Structures are given as C-alpha cells and as structure tokens.
C-alpha cells in the first residue's frame, strides 16, 4: 500500500473526506463528510484506534490507514442502528438535525430582503453652496477706504470744484467793479479764497463718505452670513430627513429580526421537544425491553427451580413409599385453584414416613403460594393470609395448619 498523507487535527481536503468516509463505513460514526478534521473526527479516530489496538493519538498514519482500508465496511449511511439487549432489539434514535419550518424560512427571507434596502451614506445637496459662502466670508479683504477711488467722492468733487470756480469768478468780478472794472490783486485774492472755501466743503464730506463705505462693507458681510445661515438651515432639514429615514429603517429591521428570532426560537423549541420526546420514547422502549428480558430470565430461573423442587419432591416421595404404598404423589402446583369444598378430614402428617394423606396434601397445595426468593416477606404474608382463610371457613384448624407449614412445608421446601 502506498504511503498516504499523515492527517491530524486541523487538516482538510480530500484525504480527510476519504478518512471520514472510511470511519463511517467501518465504525458507523455518522461523521459529516465535509473534508475538515475537527473535534468530532478526532474523537472518532481515537475511538477507532483504541478499538483496533493502535496508538490512540488521533494522528492518522500508515498503520491507521492500513486498518481502515483492510477492515470490511459495516452498514452505514442513514439507516437506523440497533442495540441488542439479550434477545430484545431496540431501535437507536437517529437525530435528523434541526430543519427550519416554512414560517421561519419566510421570516428569514423577509429580513434578508429588507437588509438590502439599508439607506446609503448621506449625500448633501447644499454642502457645495455652503462651502462657497464660507470661502467668501473667510477670505474677505479687510476694510479699506480710498477716497480717490470712491465714485461718490468723485461726484462731490466735480460738483464742488465747478461751484467753487463759478463763485471765484463772481467774487473777482465784484472786486474789479470796485476799481472801475480793472483787474487787480485784491480781486484775484478774493476769488481764490472763495474757491478754497468750496474745496474745504468737499473735504468736510470725506468722513461721511468713509462711514457710508464702512456701512456698505459691513452690510455685505452680514448678507453673506445670512445666506450661509439660510443654506445651513436647509442642510439641517435635509440631514434630519435622512436621519429619520435611517431611524425608520432600523426600527423596521429590529421588528423583522425580532419576528424572525421569535419564530425560530419557537420552531427550535418544538424541535428540541420532539427530539427529547423521541429520544425518551426510545429510551423507554429500551428500558421496557431490558425489564422484559430480566423478567423472562427471572421466570426461567424460577421455573428451573420449581422443576428441580418438584423432581426432588417426587424422588423423596418414591423413596419413602418404596415399601409398597401405592398412593401416587400429589400434583405439585405452585398456583393451585383453592378447593371450595369443605374437607371433613384435614389429613394427617405421619412423622415416621414424612408423608401426607391426599386430603392433607390438597390442603397444603391451597396454603402454599409460589415461592419467590427475591421477596420472602411477601411469600410469608401470602401464606399467612391463606391459612387465615382456611381456618375462617373451618376447612382446617389453626393447629393443623401450623403443623402442615412448619413440620412438612418448610422441611420439604
């Protein structure tokens, strides 16, 4: 035989499956032929090695393989094994294993189908806009005011300069009129002063223009913040609806799981109850057959003892009556039918011969119950009750009954 791969606990593959097959065929171990060397396979290997005089180490080497492949296969498969008890044969309970009912299978399928409907990760429809607004808020330039770049200031400047020039010309004309219409330095000075007055009014406007520009900057910032808050509120609403859908999913999932668990627990409980019932029924049948076998054996022993006692009784009777007495021995009946007819002569016991007359023997047969060595107290109790009954109907006197019992019955038992 070619060397096979040594197999031990934790191995797997076709060799292990072949090992499980041979163990089932040769030892009826009922192993699952799944190709996995687990604890059940290891226990079966050790048991097989022990029964076949091999090293009980759970390692399948050449010797164990040789024993498995040379030993003829026994009945295997799913057939019910039998246990012999004397002459009685009791079926061994074969557990088919738990098989879930259609109700449990349906609840499991519903749970499985619903699990496929689990909501995915949250996808925001507002996050992009929120990010854009936040970028604008965080990246705004600090407030700066440049009067020359202020359009409103430029409008004021053009207006005040034009008005200043007109006022300067008027002032210079009025000053020249005072000197006969000729221009002079006074007229120029007065006109320049008027023009500078208008420029000063323009400069007085700058603080107001600064405040207007600052207010505008602040309003723009507040507007961005308000927009971000509004978009954030919409985002919160959308996320809240998503969380509600997730919560509803898990609530329904828990309901379906509890339904499945309840159905399976009940179904498995029914299986356990039935298995225990079948097992106990099988054990009761075994116990009944064991009891029957023991009873039959006890009855056989009692019958053998009875036959031996009858043989000895007849032998003793023949020995004592060998002098020519033609009286036939009484019928030794362990369960006699009581004689209901009164007996005038209760018979007599002859100490010389140790024999009873037929009438006395009949009385003795009515008194003596079947002997049961396992319950001697009950035997005496039954005998006492029969004596009382015979004395009560005056079939025999109590004294004669005692003579029959203690002098003949017990001596010849």
Same domain, 155 and 111: yes
Residue 1 covered by a domain: no
Residue 147 covered by a domain: yes
Nearest to 68 by CA among 15, 122, 104: 15
Same domain, 148 and 262: yes
Same domain, 108 and 233: yes
Which pLDDT value is given to residue 409? 54
The number of beta carbons lying within 10 Å of the beta carbon of residue 34 is 12
3-state secondary structure the chain: CCCCCCECCCCECHHHHHHHHHHHHHHCCCCCCCCECCHHHHHHHHHHHHHCCCCCCCCECHHHHHHHHHCCCCCCCCCCCEEEECCEEEECCCCCCCCCCHHHHHHHHHHHHHHCCCCCCCCCCCHHHHHHHHHHHHCCCCCCCCHHHCHHHHHHHHHHHHHHHHHHHHHHHHHHHCCCCCCCHHHHHHHHHHHHHHHHHHHHHHHHHHHHHHHHHHHHHHHHHHHHHHHHHHHHHHHHHHHHHHHHHHHHHHHHHHHHHHHHHHHHHHHHHHHHHHHHHHHHHHHHHHHHHHHHHHHHHHHHHHHHHHHHHHHHHHHHCCCCCCCCCCCCCCCCCCCCCCCCCCCCEECCCCEECHHHHHHHHHHCCCCCHHHHHHHHHHHHHHHHHHHHCCCCCHHHHHHHHHHHHCCCC
Instruction: Domain of residue 339: give its range.
Output: 331-409
Same domain, 137 and 186: yes
Q: How many residues does the chain have?
A: 413
Domain count, the chain: 3
Which pLDDT value is given to residue 250? 93
Same domain, 40 and 108: no
pLDDT, tens digit only, all 413 positions of the chain: 556 778 898 888 888 999 999 999 888 888 988 889 988 999 999 999 999 999 999 999 988 998 888 876 554 443 344 444 344 444 555 666 778 888 988 998 998 899 999 999 999 999 999 999 999 999 999 998 888 888 888 898 898 889 888 888 888 888 777 766 666 787 788 888 888 898 898 888 899 999 999 999 999 999 999 999 999 999 999 999 999 999 999 999 999 999 989 988 898 888 888 878 887 887 888 888 888 988 888 888 988 888 888 888 888 888 877 754 444 444 444 444 444 444 444 444 454 455 566 666 777 776 666 655 556 667 677 777 877 887 888 777 766 766 666 655 554 44
Same domain, 138 and 251: yes
Residue 54 covered by a domain: yes
Same domain, 237 and 360: no
Residue 311 covered by a domain: no
Which pLDDT value is given to residue 85? 39
CATH number where 72 lies: 1.10.101.10
Which pLDDT value is given to residue 79? 38
Same domain, 354 and 211: no
The number of beta carbons lying within 10 Å of the beta carbon of residue 134 is 15
CA atoms 399, 402, 406, 409: torsion sign: positive
Same domain, 243 and 352: no
The residue with tokens 């009164």 is 342
The C-alpha atoms of residue 351 and residue 405 are separated, in whole angstroms, by: 14
Same domain, 244 and 117: yes
Residue 55 covered by a domain: yes
Q: Beta strands 88-91 and 355-356: pairing type?
A: unpaired
Residues 6+ apart with CB under 8 A from 13: 35
Q: Residue 131: what are its φ and ψ, rounded to 5°?
A: -65, -40
Which pLDDT value is given to residue 175? 75
Residue 86 covered by a domain: no
Residue 70 covered by a domain: yes
Same domain, 284 and 349: no
The number of beta carbons lying within 10 Å of the beta carbon of residue 342 is 8
Same domain, 220 and 121: yes
Residue 267 covered by a domain: yes
CA distances to 130, 227, 231, 234, 332 from 133, in Å? 5, 8, 9, 14, 122
């Amino acid at each position: 035989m070619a060397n096979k791969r040594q197999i031990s606990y934790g191995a797997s593959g076709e060799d292990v499956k072949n090992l499980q097959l041979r163990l089932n065929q040769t030892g009826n171990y009922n192993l699952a032929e799944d190709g996995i060397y687990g604890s059940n396979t290891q226990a079966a290997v050790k048991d097989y090695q022990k029964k076949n005089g091999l090293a009980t180490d759970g390692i399948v080497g050449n010797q164990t393989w040789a024993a498995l492949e040379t030993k003829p296969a026994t009945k295997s498969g799913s057939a019910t094994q039998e246990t012999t008890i004397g002459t009685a044969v009791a079926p061994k309970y074969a557990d088919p294993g738990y098989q879930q009912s259609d109700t449990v299978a349906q609840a499991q399928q519903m749970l499985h189908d619903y699990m496929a409907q689990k909501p995915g990760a949250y996808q925001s429809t507002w996050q992009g806009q929120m990010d854009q607004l936040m970028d604008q808020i965080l990246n705004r330039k600090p407030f700066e005011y440049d009067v020359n770049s202020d359009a409103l200031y430029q409008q004021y400047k053009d207006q005040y300069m034009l008005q200043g020039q007109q006022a300067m010309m008027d002032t210079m004309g009025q000053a020249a009129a005072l000197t006969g219409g000729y221009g002079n330095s006074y007229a120029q000075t007065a006109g320049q002063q008027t023009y500078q007055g208008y420029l000063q009014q323009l400069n007085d406007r700058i603080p107001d223009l600064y405040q207007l520009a600052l207010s505008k900057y602040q309003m723009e910032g507040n507007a961005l913040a308000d927009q971000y808050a509004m978009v954030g509120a919409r985002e919160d609403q959308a996320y809240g609806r998503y969380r509600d859908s997730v919560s509803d999913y898990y609530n329904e999932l828990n309901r379906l799981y509890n339904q499945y668990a309840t159905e399976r627990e009940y179904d498995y409980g029914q299986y356990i109850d039935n298995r225990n019932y079948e097992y106990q029924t099988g054990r009761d049948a075994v116990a009944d057959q064991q009891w029957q076998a023991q009873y039959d054996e006890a009855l056989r022993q009692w019958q053998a003892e009875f036959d031996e006692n009858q043989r000895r009784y007849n032998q003793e009777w023949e020995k004592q009556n060998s002098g020519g007495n033609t009286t036939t021995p009484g019928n030794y009946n362990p369960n006699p039918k009581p004689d209901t007819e009164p007996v005038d002569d209760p018979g007599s016991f002859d100490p010389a011969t140790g024999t009873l007359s037929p009438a006395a023997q009949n009385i003795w047969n009515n008194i003596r119950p079947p002997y049961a060595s396992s319950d001697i107290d009950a035997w005496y109790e039954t005998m006492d009750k029969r004596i009382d009954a015979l004395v009560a109907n005056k079939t025999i006197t109590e004294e004669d009954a005692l003579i029959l019992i203690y002098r003949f019955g017990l001596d010849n038992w």
